A and B are shown apart, each in its own frame.
Chain A
Amino acid sequence: MSTNAPPSFSNATVGKKILMAITGFLIIGFVIVHLVGNLQIFIGQHQLNVYAETLQNMGALKWAFRIALLVFFLVHIWKGIVLWLENRSARPVSYTKETNQESTLASRTMIYTGALIVFFVAYHISHFTLLDCHPEYQSLPLVDGRFDVYSMIILGFSEPLIAALYIIFVGLVAFHISHAFSSLFQTLGLTKPELLKRLRLFGALLAWLIFLAYASIPVAVLAKIITLPGGGH
Protein backbone atom coordinates (compact mmCIF):
# COMPACT_ATOMS: atom_id res chain seq x y z
CA MET A 1 0.00 0.00 0.00
CA SER A 2 1.20 3.50 -0.65
CA THR A 3 2.62 5.21 2.36
CA ASN A 4 0.85 8.52 1.83
CA ALA A 5 -2.76 8.87 2.87
CA PRO A 6 -5.13 9.16 -0.09
CA PRO A 7 -6.19 12.72 -0.95
CA SER A 8 -9.41 14.15 0.45
CA PHE A 9 -12.65 13.64 -1.45
CA SER A 10 -12.57 16.99 -3.18
CA ASN A 11 -8.94 16.58 -4.22
CA ALA A 12 -9.21 12.97 -5.33
CA THR A 13 -9.37 12.46 -9.06
CA VAL A 14 -12.81 10.89 -8.95
CA GLY A 15 -13.97 13.23 -6.16
CA LYS A 16 -13.34 16.24 -8.38
CA LYS A 17 -15.27 14.60 -11.16
CA ILE A 18 -18.18 13.86 -8.89
CA LEU A 19 -18.28 17.48 -7.75
CA MET A 20 -18.29 18.53 -11.41
CA ALA A 21 -21.10 16.12 -12.14
CA ILE A 22 -23.30 17.11 -9.22
CA THR A 23 -22.84 20.85 -9.66
CA GLY A 24 -23.23 20.46 -13.40
CA PHE A 25 -26.45 18.53 -12.91
CA LEU A 26 -27.84 21.27 -10.65
CA ILE A 27 -26.83 23.96 -13.11
CA ILE A 28 -28.55 22.09 -15.93
CA GLY A 29 -31.61 22.00 -13.69
CA PHE A 30 -31.36 25.75 -13.27
CA VAL A 31 -30.94 26.22 -17.01
CA ILE A 32 -34.17 24.34 -17.59
CA VAL A 33 -36.12 26.16 -14.87
CA HIS A 34 -34.83 29.45 -16.20
CA LEU A 35 -35.97 28.44 -19.66
CA VAL A 36 -39.44 27.59 -18.45
CA GLY A 37 -39.62 31.05 -16.92
CA ASN A 38 -38.38 32.75 -20.06
CA LEU A 39 -40.77 30.96 -22.35
CA GLN A 40 -43.66 32.64 -20.52
CA ILE A 41 -42.86 35.62 -22.69
CA PHE A 42 -44.84 33.87 -25.41
CA ILE A 43 -47.92 33.87 -23.15
CA GLY A 44 -47.77 37.60 -22.78
CA GLN A 45 -46.61 40.68 -20.92
CA HIS A 46 -48.78 40.16 -17.86
CA GLN A 47 -47.79 36.55 -17.29
CA LEU A 48 -44.06 37.25 -17.55
CA ASN A 49 -44.15 40.31 -15.36
CA VAL A 50 -46.15 38.53 -12.67
CA TYR A 51 -43.71 35.63 -12.78
CA ALA A 52 -40.75 38.00 -12.44
CA GLU A 53 -42.34 39.81 -9.57
CA THR A 54 -43.10 36.55 -7.77
CA LEU A 55 -39.45 35.60 -8.02
CA GLN A 56 -38.30 39.03 -6.84
CA ASN A 57 -40.60 38.89 -3.82
CA MET A 58 -39.29 35.58 -2.54
CA GLY A 59 -36.90 37.44 -0.25
CA ALA A 60 -34.61 35.21 1.78
CA LEU A 61 -35.42 32.23 -0.44
CA LYS A 62 -34.30 34.23 -3.44
CA TRP A 63 -30.98 34.97 -1.80
CA ALA A 64 -30.52 31.44 -0.64
CA PHE A 65 -31.12 30.31 -4.17
CA ARG A 66 -28.75 32.89 -5.61
CA ILE A 67 -26.00 32.00 -3.18
CA ALA A 68 -26.45 28.29 -3.80
CA LEU A 69 -26.31 28.85 -7.52
CA LEU A 70 -23.19 30.95 -7.14
CA VAL A 71 -21.58 28.20 -5.09
CA PHE A 72 -22.46 25.60 -7.72
CA PHE A 73 -20.94 27.78 -10.39
CA LEU A 74 -17.81 28.54 -8.39
CA VAL A 75 -17.21 24.89 -7.50
CA HIS A 76 -17.86 23.85 -11.08
CA ILE A 77 -15.48 26.49 -12.42
CA TRP A 78 -12.81 25.89 -9.83
CA LYS A 79 -12.77 22.10 -10.19
CA GLY A 80 -13.02 22.46 -13.96
CA ILE A 81 -9.91 24.60 -14.05
CA VAL A 82 -8.00 22.28 -11.72
CA LEU A 83 -8.93 19.26 -13.83
CA TRP A 84 -7.94 21.05 -16.99
CA LEU A 85 -4.56 22.11 -15.63
CA GLU A 86 -3.81 18.61 -14.34
CA ASN A 87 -4.91 17.04 -17.59
CA ARG A 88 -2.71 19.36 -19.62
CA SER A 89 0.32 18.58 -17.54
CA ALA A 90 -0.33 14.84 -17.82
CA ARG A 91 0.78 14.95 -21.44
CA PRO A 92 3.73 17.33 -21.82
CA VAL A 93 4.63 16.16 -25.33
CA SER A 94 1.74 15.88 -27.72
CA TYR A 95 1.37 13.62 -30.73
CA THR A 96 2.58 14.72 -34.13
CA LYS A 97 -0.48 13.10 -35.58
CA GLU A 98 -3.67 13.21 -33.53
CA THR A 99 -6.68 11.08 -34.30
CA ASN A 100 -10.04 11.08 -32.55
CA GLN A 101 -12.01 7.89 -32.50
CA GLU A 102 -14.76 8.25 -29.98
CA SER A 103 -14.49 11.68 -28.37
CA THR A 104 -16.84 14.43 -29.51
CA LEU A 105 -15.84 18.00 -30.30
CA ALA A 106 -18.01 19.11 -27.39
CA SER A 107 -16.13 16.87 -24.97
CA ARG A 108 -12.76 18.15 -26.14
CA THR A 109 -13.76 21.81 -25.85
CA MET A 110 -15.49 21.83 -22.47
CA ILE A 111 -12.94 24.18 -20.92
CA TYR A 112 -13.30 26.67 -23.79
CA THR A 113 -17.09 26.60 -24.00
CA GLY A 114 -17.09 26.75 -20.21
CA ALA A 115 -14.86 29.84 -20.15
CA LEU A 116 -16.98 31.62 -22.75
CA ILE A 117 -20.12 30.75 -20.83
CA VAL A 118 -18.66 32.35 -17.69
CA PHE A 119 -17.98 35.50 -19.67
CA PHE A 120 -21.48 35.54 -21.11
CA VAL A 121 -23.12 34.80 -17.77
CA ALA A 122 -21.35 37.84 -16.35
CA TYR A 123 -22.62 39.95 -19.23
CA HIS A 124 -26.08 38.46 -18.94
CA ILE A 125 -26.35 39.27 -15.25
CA SER A 126 -25.17 42.76 -15.75
CA HIS A 127 -27.48 43.09 -18.76
CA PHE A 128 -30.78 41.86 -17.36
CA THR A 129 -30.33 41.57 -13.60
CA LEU A 130 -28.11 44.45 -12.48
CA LEU A 131 -29.01 46.52 -15.53
CA ASP A 132 -25.47 48.00 -15.59
CA CYS A 133 -25.20 47.98 -19.35
CA HIS A 134 -28.54 49.64 -19.87
CA PRO A 135 -29.40 51.89 -16.95
CA GLU A 136 -32.27 53.23 -19.04
CA TYR A 137 -34.18 49.98 -18.37
CA GLN A 138 -34.61 51.23 -14.82
CA SER A 139 -36.75 54.04 -16.07
CA LEU A 140 -39.17 51.80 -17.92
CA PRO A 141 -42.71 52.73 -16.87
CA LEU A 142 -44.36 50.35 -14.42
CA VAL A 143 -47.15 48.21 -15.81
CA ASP A 144 -49.95 47.41 -13.34
CA GLY A 145 -47.48 48.47 -10.66
CA ARG A 146 -44.88 45.95 -11.71
CA PHE A 147 -41.44 46.29 -13.28
CA ASP A 148 -41.89 45.62 -17.04
CA VAL A 149 -39.52 42.73 -17.65
CA TYR A 150 -41.40 41.91 -20.83
CA SER A 151 -40.56 45.22 -22.48
CA MET A 152 -37.02 45.13 -21.20
CA ILE A 153 -36.36 41.82 -22.92
CA ILE A 154 -37.89 42.93 -26.16
CA LEU A 155 -35.93 46.15 -26.06
CA GLY A 156 -32.77 44.19 -25.37
CA PHE A 157 -33.21 41.72 -28.18
CA SER A 158 -34.31 44.31 -30.66
CA GLU A 159 -30.68 45.15 -31.16
CA PRO A 160 -29.53 42.50 -33.66
CA LEU A 161 -26.00 42.41 -32.28
CA ILE A 162 -27.15 41.65 -28.75
CA ALA A 163 -29.68 39.13 -30.02
CA ALA A 164 -26.95 37.40 -32.03
CA LEU A 165 -24.68 37.39 -28.99
CA TYR A 166 -27.40 35.71 -26.96
CA ILE A 167 -28.01 33.13 -29.63
CA ILE A 168 -24.31 32.29 -29.63
CA PHE A 169 -24.40 32.20 -25.85
CA VAL A 170 -27.23 29.70 -25.63
CA GLY A 171 -25.56 27.75 -28.44
CA LEU A 172 -22.45 27.42 -26.27
CA VAL A 173 -24.50 26.40 -23.26
CA ALA A 174 -26.28 23.77 -25.31
CA PHE A 175 -23.01 22.52 -26.79
CA HIS A 176 -21.52 22.28 -23.29
CA ILE A 177 -24.58 20.37 -22.10
CA SER A 178 -24.50 18.01 -25.07
CA HIS A 179 -21.41 16.38 -23.54
CA ALA A 180 -22.20 17.16 -19.93
CA PHE A 181 -25.57 15.49 -19.70
CA SER A 182 -24.65 11.86 -20.39
CA SER A 183 -21.19 12.40 -18.98
CA LEU A 184 -22.53 13.13 -15.53
CA PHE A 185 -24.34 9.81 -15.45
CA GLN A 186 -21.12 8.03 -16.38
CA THR A 187 -19.28 9.87 -13.61
CA LEU A 188 -21.97 9.10 -11.09
CA GLY A 189 -21.69 5.41 -11.82
CA LEU A 190 -24.12 4.31 -14.49
CA THR A 191 -22.83 0.88 -15.52
CA LYS A 192 -25.24 0.08 -18.34
CA PRO A 193 -23.54 0.76 -21.68
CA GLU A 194 -26.83 0.55 -23.64
CA LEU A 195 -28.48 3.09 -21.36
CA LEU A 196 -25.42 5.34 -21.56
CA LYS A 197 -25.65 5.22 -25.34
CA ARG A 198 -29.30 6.30 -25.14
CA LEU A 199 -28.42 9.02 -22.66
CA ARG A 200 -25.76 10.31 -25.02
CA LEU A 201 -28.42 10.61 -27.69
CA PHE A 202 -30.84 12.16 -25.25
CA GLY A 203 -28.15 14.62 -24.14
CA ALA A 204 -27.72 15.78 -27.71
CA LEU A 205 -31.49 16.06 -28.08
CA LEU A 206 -31.79 18.00 -24.83
CA ALA A 207 -29.02 20.32 -25.96
CA TRP A 208 -30.84 21.05 -29.21
CA LEU A 209 -34.06 21.58 -27.34
CA ILE A 210 -32.44 24.02 -24.93
CA PHE A 211 -30.76 25.83 -27.78
CA LEU A 212 -33.88 26.12 -29.91
CA ALA A 213 -36.12 27.09 -27.03
CA TYR A 214 -33.78 29.75 -25.67
CA ALA A 215 -32.92 31.05 -29.12
CA SER A 216 -36.59 31.24 -30.04
CA ILE A 217 -36.97 34.35 -27.86
CA PRO A 218 -34.44 36.68 -29.56
CA VAL A 219 -35.45 35.20 -32.90
CA ALA A 220 -39.11 35.91 -32.17
CA VAL A 221 -38.24 39.45 -31.17
CA LEU A 222 -36.16 40.05 -34.28
CA ALA A 223 -38.84 38.47 -36.43
CA LYS A 224 -41.35 40.70 -34.68
CA ILE A 225 -43.41 37.73 -33.57
CA ILE A 226 -43.41 39.21 -30.12
CA THR A 227 -43.44 42.96 -29.97
CA LEU A 228 -43.72 45.76 -27.43
CA PRO A 229 -47.28 46.32 -26.18
CA GLY A 230 -47.38 49.68 -27.99
CA GLY A 231 -46.48 47.96 -31.23
CA GLY A 232 -43.27 49.97 -31.68
CA HIS A 233 -39.97 50.72 -29.99
Chain B
Amino acid sequence: MNLTLHVWRQKNANDKGKMETYQAKDISDHMSFLEMLDVVNEQLADKDIDPIAFDHDCREGICGMCSLVVNGTPHGPERGTTVCQLHMRHFKDGDTIYIEPWRARAFPVQRDLIVDRSAFDRIMAAGGFVSVNTGGTPDANALPIPKKDADTAMDAAACIGCGACVAACKNASAMLFVSAKVSQFAYLPQGQAERKARVSNMLAQMQKEGFGNCTNFYECEAACPKEISVKFIAKMNREFMRAKVLKD
Protein backbone atom coordinates (compact mmCIF):
# COMPACT_ATOMS: atom_id res chain seq x y z
CA MET B 1 0.00 0.00 0.00
CA ASN B 2 0.96 3.63 -0.36
CA LEU B 3 0.48 6.16 2.39
CA THR B 4 0.82 9.86 3.00
CA LEU B 5 2.65 10.63 6.23
CA HIS B 6 2.63 13.91 8.08
CA VAL B 7 5.56 13.70 10.45
CA TRP B 8 6.85 16.12 13.08
CA ARG B 9 10.42 17.13 12.24
CA GLN B 10 12.53 19.05 14.71
CA LYS B 11 16.32 19.27 14.57
CA ASN B 12 16.90 19.59 18.31
CA ALA B 13 15.36 20.83 21.52
CA ASN B 14 15.80 24.48 20.52
CA ASP B 15 14.48 24.17 16.99
CA LYS B 16 10.88 25.23 16.45
CA GLY B 17 9.96 22.19 14.39
CA LYS B 18 7.16 21.60 11.91
CA MET B 19 5.10 18.93 10.21
CA GLU B 20 6.55 17.54 6.98
CA THR B 21 4.80 15.40 4.42
CA TYR B 22 6.30 12.22 2.99
CA GLN B 23 5.01 9.46 0.77
CA ALA B 24 5.47 5.92 2.03
CA LYS B 25 5.56 3.58 -0.94
CA ASP B 26 5.17 -0.21 -1.23
CA ILE B 27 4.27 -0.80 2.36
CA SER B 28 3.33 -4.39 3.21
CA ASP B 29 0.38 -5.31 5.41
CA HIS B 30 2.63 -7.47 7.53
CA MET B 31 5.01 -4.70 8.54
CA SER B 32 4.85 -3.28 11.99
CA PHE B 33 4.37 0.47 12.16
CA LEU B 34 8.03 0.93 13.08
CA GLU B 35 9.15 -1.30 10.22
CA MET B 36 7.11 0.95 7.95
CA LEU B 37 9.11 3.89 9.31
CA ASP B 38 12.35 1.91 8.78
CA VAL B 39 11.39 1.56 5.12
CA VAL B 40 10.50 5.23 4.85
CA ASN B 41 13.83 6.10 6.44
CA GLU B 42 15.72 4.02 3.87
CA GLN B 43 13.78 5.82 1.15
CA LEU B 44 14.58 9.21 2.72
CA ALA B 45 18.27 8.33 3.09
CA ASP B 46 18.37 7.53 -0.62
CA LYS B 47 17.25 11.07 -1.25
CA ASP B 48 19.79 12.46 1.24
CA ILE B 49 17.07 13.51 3.66
CA ASP B 50 17.86 12.88 7.34
CA PRO B 51 15.97 9.83 8.54
CA ILE B 52 13.12 10.39 10.96
CA ALA B 53 14.44 9.93 14.48
CA PHE B 54 12.17 7.88 16.74
CA ASP B 55 12.68 5.87 19.90
CA HIS B 56 12.41 2.10 19.79
CA ASP B 57 14.20 -0.83 21.33
CA CYS B 58 12.65 -4.18 22.20
CA ARG B 59 9.96 -3.98 19.51
CA GLU B 60 7.90 -6.49 21.42
CA GLY B 61 5.83 -4.15 23.53
CA ILE B 62 7.57 -4.30 26.89
CA CYS B 63 10.50 -1.85 27.11
CA GLY B 64 8.33 1.25 26.80
CA MET B 65 10.78 3.03 24.52
CA CYS B 66 8.54 3.57 21.48
CA SER B 67 6.46 6.67 21.73
CA LEU B 68 4.55 7.87 18.69
CA VAL B 69 1.23 9.63 18.58
CA VAL B 70 -0.48 8.17 15.51
CA ASN B 71 -3.47 10.11 14.23
CA GLY B 72 -3.91 11.79 17.57
CA THR B 73 -3.74 8.61 19.62
CA PRO B 74 -0.61 7.55 21.52
CA HIS B 75 0.57 4.18 20.18
CA GLY B 76 -2.10 4.33 17.48
CA PRO B 77 -5.63 3.04 17.11
CA GLU B 78 -5.27 -0.50 18.50
CA ARG B 79 -6.16 -0.76 22.17
CA GLY B 80 -3.69 -2.39 24.51
CA THR B 81 -0.93 -2.29 21.90
CA THR B 82 2.35 -0.40 21.78
CA VAL B 83 3.13 1.22 18.45
CA CYS B 84 5.93 -1.29 17.84
CA GLN B 85 3.29 -4.03 17.83
CA LEU B 86 0.81 -2.11 15.73
CA HIS B 87 0.74 -3.60 12.25
CA MET B 88 0.06 -1.93 8.95
CA ARG B 89 -2.89 -4.20 8.19
CA HIS B 90 -4.89 -1.79 10.33
CA PHE B 91 -4.42 0.89 7.67
CA LYS B 92 -5.70 1.14 4.11
CA ASP B 93 -4.01 2.02 0.88
CA GLY B 94 -4.12 5.79 0.41
CA ASP B 95 -4.51 6.58 4.11
CA THR B 96 -3.09 9.76 5.56
CA ILE B 97 -1.29 9.27 8.86
CA TYR B 98 -0.22 11.96 11.30
CA ILE B 99 2.82 11.03 13.40
CA GLU B 100 3.71 13.29 16.30
CA PRO B 101 5.83 13.07 19.45
CA TRP B 102 4.44 12.85 22.99
CA ARG B 103 3.37 16.41 23.80
CA ALA B 104 3.96 17.68 27.31
CA ARG B 105 5.94 20.44 28.94
CA ALA B 106 7.59 17.79 31.12
CA PHE B 107 8.61 15.77 28.01
CA PRO B 108 10.60 18.19 25.85
CA VAL B 109 11.25 17.06 22.29
CA GLN B 110 14.91 16.23 21.68
CA ARG B 111 14.68 15.43 18.02
CA ASP B 112 11.79 14.66 15.65
CA LEU B 113 9.71 12.11 17.53
CA ILE B 114 12.12 11.56 20.44
CA VAL B 115 11.27 13.15 23.77
CA ASP B 116 13.03 13.39 27.11
CA ARG B 117 11.17 11.29 29.66
CA SER B 118 13.68 11.65 32.48
CA ALA B 119 10.93 13.33 34.53
CA PHE B 120 9.54 9.83 35.08
CA ASP B 121 12.86 8.67 36.49
CA ARG B 122 12.90 11.62 38.88
CA ILE B 123 9.36 10.82 40.02
CA MET B 124 10.52 7.27 40.69
CA ALA B 125 13.55 8.57 42.59
CA ALA B 126 11.19 10.53 44.82
CA GLY B 127 9.69 7.39 46.29
CA GLY B 128 9.03 4.62 43.78
CA PHE B 129 10.90 2.00 45.77
CA VAL B 130 11.03 0.07 49.01
CA SER B 131 14.05 1.19 50.99
CA VAL B 132 15.79 -2.15 51.42
CA ASN B 133 19.48 -2.65 50.84
CA THR B 134 20.81 -5.79 49.27
CA GLY B 135 21.16 -8.65 51.74
CA GLY B 136 19.66 -9.25 55.13
CA THR B 137 16.13 -9.67 53.83
CA PRO B 138 13.82 -12.25 55.40
CA ASP B 139 12.94 -15.48 53.65
CA ALA B 140 10.68 -14.83 50.68
CA ASN B 141 7.91 -16.96 52.17
CA ALA B 142 8.16 -15.46 55.64
CA LEU B 143 5.29 -13.11 54.88
CA PRO B 144 2.30 -14.59 53.07
CA ILE B 145 0.55 -12.15 50.74
CA PRO B 146 -3.07 -12.85 49.79
CA LYS B 147 -3.20 -13.87 46.15
CA LYS B 148 -5.75 -11.18 45.42
CA ASP B 149 -3.46 -8.44 46.71
CA ALA B 150 -0.47 -9.84 44.86
CA ASP B 151 -2.52 -10.01 41.65
CA THR B 152 -3.79 -6.46 42.04
CA ALA B 153 -0.25 -5.25 42.73
CA MET B 154 0.86 -7.03 39.57
CA ASP B 155 -1.93 -5.37 37.55
CA ALA B 156 -0.47 -2.03 38.58
CA ALA B 157 3.14 -3.11 38.23
CA ALA B 158 2.58 -3.99 34.56
CA CYS B 159 3.24 -0.31 33.70
CA ILE B 160 6.04 0.00 31.14
CA GLY B 161 6.68 3.68 31.81
CA CYS B 162 6.21 4.68 28.18
CA GLY B 163 4.37 7.91 28.95
CA ALA B 164 1.37 7.28 26.69
CA CYS B 165 -0.88 8.26 29.61
CA VAL B 166 0.72 11.69 29.67
CA ALA B 167 0.56 12.00 25.91
CA ALA B 168 -3.12 11.07 25.87
CA CYS B 169 -4.20 13.19 28.81
CA LYS B 170 -5.67 16.52 27.77
CA ASN B 171 -3.87 17.95 30.78
CA ALA B 172 -0.59 16.10 30.20
CA SER B 173 -0.96 14.62 33.64
CA ALA B 174 1.16 11.69 34.80
CA MET B 175 -1.37 10.42 37.32
CA LEU B 176 -1.78 6.97 35.80
CA PHE B 177 1.98 6.40 35.81
CA VAL B 178 2.43 7.62 39.38
CA SER B 179 -0.65 5.79 40.63
CA ALA B 180 0.51 2.50 39.16
CA LYS B 181 3.67 2.56 41.27
CA VAL B 182 2.00 3.97 44.39
CA SER B 183 -0.74 1.34 44.18
CA GLN B 184 1.64 -1.56 43.58
CA PHE B 185 3.37 -0.85 46.88
CA ALA B 186 0.18 0.11 48.72
CA TYR B 187 -1.22 -3.38 48.10
CA LEU B 188 1.91 -5.15 49.32
CA PRO B 189 3.09 -5.50 52.91
CA GLN B 190 6.60 -4.54 51.84
CA GLY B 191 5.36 -1.11 50.84
CA GLN B 192 3.70 -0.23 54.15
CA ALA B 193 6.60 1.36 56.01
CA GLU B 194 6.96 4.21 53.51
CA ARG B 195 3.38 4.28 52.36
CA LYS B 196 2.54 7.82 53.42
CA ALA B 197 5.77 9.48 52.40
CA ARG B 198 5.76 7.70 49.04
CA VAL B 199 2.45 9.04 47.80
CA SER B 200 3.14 12.60 48.95
CA ASN B 201 6.63 12.75 47.57
CA MET B 202 5.93 11.14 44.22
CA LEU B 203 2.94 13.40 43.63
CA ALA B 204 4.94 16.44 44.68
CA GLN B 205 7.65 15.52 42.21
CA MET B 206 5.09 15.01 39.47
CA GLN B 207 3.77 18.50 40.12
CA LYS B 208 7.28 19.95 40.20
CA GLU B 209 8.07 18.43 36.82
CA GLY B 210 5.24 20.40 35.28
CA PHE B 211 2.75 17.65 34.53
CA GLY B 212 -0.90 18.67 34.64
CA ASN B 213 -3.62 17.61 37.07
CA CYS B 214 -6.06 14.78 36.66
CA THR B 215 -9.57 15.81 35.68
CA ASN B 216 -10.89 12.32 35.06
CA PHE B 217 -10.97 12.26 31.26
CA TYR B 218 -9.92 8.59 31.35
CA GLU B 219 -7.99 9.08 28.09
CA CYS B 220 -4.93 7.62 29.85
CA GLU B 221 -6.59 4.26 30.42
CA ALA B 222 -7.71 4.11 26.80
CA ALA B 223 -4.20 4.86 25.56
CA CYS B 224 -2.30 2.65 27.99
CA PRO B 225 -0.71 -0.21 26.07
CA LYS B 226 -0.89 -2.33 29.22
CA GLU B 227 -4.51 -1.30 29.88
CA ILE B 228 -3.81 -0.13 33.40
CA SER B 229 -7.05 0.86 35.07
CA VAL B 230 -7.88 4.35 36.32
CA LYS B 231 -8.99 2.64 39.49
CA PHE B 232 -5.37 2.97 40.52
CA ILE B 233 -5.69 6.74 40.29
CA ALA B 234 -8.66 6.48 42.64
CA LYS B 235 -6.57 4.26 44.86
CA MET B 236 -3.78 6.82 44.89
CA ASN B 237 -6.24 9.60 45.72
CA ARG B 238 -7.28 7.52 48.68
CA GLU B 239 -3.65 6.95 49.62
CA PHE B 240 -3.10 10.69 49.49
CA MET B 241 -6.03 11.39 51.82
CA ARG B 242 -4.89 8.63 54.12
CA ALA B 243 -1.42 10.15 54.24
CA LYS B 244 -2.83 13.56 55.06
CA VAL B 245 -5.32 12.38 57.66
CA LEU B 246 -2.96 9.99 59.44
CA LYS B 247 -0.20 12.35 60.42
CA ASP B 248 2.96 10.84 61.76
Contact = CB atoms under 8 A, between A and B. Distances in A.
Interface of A: 1-2, 4, 6-7, 9, 12-18, 83, 86-87, 89-103, 107-108, 110, 179, 182-183, 185-193, 196
Interface string B1-12: 000001010000
A175 B104 CA distance: 28
Contacts, number: 157
Contact of B237 (A99, A107, A188): A188
B237 A14 contact: yes
B106 interface: yes
Interface in B112-138: 126-127
Which of B172, B235, B236 counts the most A-chain CB atoms under 10 A from its CB?
Answer: B172
B240 A103 contact: no
A91 B100 contact: no
A6 B203 CA distance: 8
A4 B208 contact: yes
A103 B234 contact: no
A189 B186 CA distance: 14
B218 A103 contact: yes
A2 B203 CA distance: 11
28 contacts: A1-B197, A4-B208, A6-B204, A12-B200, A13-B207, A15-B240, A17-B213, A17-B214, A17-B215, A18-B241, A86-B213, A87-B172, A89-B210, A95-B98, A97-B6, A97-B71, A99-B71, A100-B219, A101-B223, A179-B216, A187-B237, A188-B237, A189-B238, A190-B231, A191-B234, A191-B235, A191-B238, A193-B229
A87 B213 CA distance: 6
A186 B100 contact: no
A99 B240 contact: no
Contact of B241 (A83, A86, A189, A190): A189
B56 interface: no
A7 B207 contact: yes
Contacts of B203: 6, 12-14
Contacts of A193: 229-231
A192 B126 CA distance: 28
